[in-house]
Amino acid sequence: MIIDCIADLHGHYPQLEGGDLLIIAGDLTGEDSQEEVDDFDEWLANQRYKKKIFITGNHDNLLIREKPKKYMLKIGKKEFERHEYLCDSGTEFEGLKIWGSPWTMKFKGMNPHCMAFTLDTEKQLAEKWALIPDDIDILVTHTPMFSYLDKTMDGPWVGSASLRLWSKKNYLKGGRIKLHICGHIHEGYGICEDAVIPIRVNASHVNERYEPVNKPIRVVL
């Protein structure tokens, strides 16, 4: 199965190669404008995949105001059954169980206009992760896990510690996540692996200067 992963589009919508499954891990827009939402709508409809899944991120304020589930009806006007918006919810594709969650934690100095789907504490985030089923195959979150593809240009790791703890507990209970896709930390772009989750992807399309220089990351499962 060919899975293309991309995140942090910030208003840049590249033509993709096409394949089986497209997963977009949040921050769809840059200026949070209706024009960008419409551009994303058209772009998504034109990508050649059997199924397309997306979550939102902290830049997607308009999708909160417009009630994303209703927005999905607009997204799906051409090929309704092929697009799915996930928000603390799951879906399946060719036997794979997929879960998506948009939440990130607020931080000091955060742009007040970029605080969609943000929470104040790791404890609040942990309540969101507790909703994730134990038997999923693919996890999609906007935030990375702590110490995995989350290092900023200033040095510190800034991913979610509670999400990393959830993944370890899930593994010890017999959960076997095959793939985790995230974004949010543009400098963390790349792919890595470990025993808990064999493939980890930070698929940010833009770099730390918001330049669309990173290619989508292709995974074959």
- Name the residue with higher pLDDT: 195 or 34: 195
Q: Which of 203, 196, 186 is nearest to 55 (CA)?
A: 203
Contact between 40 and 9 (Cβ < 8 Å) = yes
Contact between 113 and 154 (Cβ < 8 Å) = no
Contact between 99 and 86 (Cβ < 8 Å) = yes
pLDDT attached to residue 153: 85
Contact between 164 and 148 (Cβ < 8 Å) = yes
pLDDT attached to residue 19: 95
Strand residue runs (E) in the chain: 2-6, 19-25, 49-55, 83-85, 89-93, 96-101, 104-105, 118-119, 138-141, 179-182, 190-192, 199-202, 217-220
Percent pLDDT > 70 in the chain is 91
Q: How confident is the model at residue 82 (pLDDT cuts 50, 70, 90)?
A: low
- Tell me the DSSP string of 35-54: HHHHHHHHHHHHS-EEEEEE
Sign of the alpha-carbon torsion through 17, 180, 146, 195: negative
Q: What is the pLDDT of residues 113-146, one digit of tens each?
A: 889 999 999 999 999 999 999 999 999 999 999 9
pLDDT tops 60 at residue 80: no
- Name the residue with higher pLDDT: 71 or 132: 132
pLDDT attached to residue 140: 98
Q: How confident is the model at residue 62 (pLDDT cuts 50, 70, 90)?
A: confident
Q: Which CATH superfamily is domain 2-220 in?
A: Metallo-dependent phosphatases (3.60.21.10)
Residues 6+ apart with CB under 8 A from 66: 37
pLDDT attached to residue 113: 84
pLDDT tops 50 at residue 79: no
- Name the residue with higher pLDDT: 14 or 69: 14
Give the range among 18-27, 98-107, 140-149, 153-162 with minimum mean pLDDT: 153-162
C-alpha–C-alpha distance, residues 216 and 221, integer Å: 16
Q: How confident is the model at residue 64 (pLDDT cuts 50, 70, 90)?
A: low
Give the range among 13-27, 95-109, 206-220 with minimum mean pLDDT: 95-109
pTM for this entry: 0.92
Query: What number of CA atoms fall less than 13 Å from residue 101's CA on the CB side?
Result: 25
Q: What is the dihedral of CA 5, 101, 195, 221, to 10 degrees?
A: -40
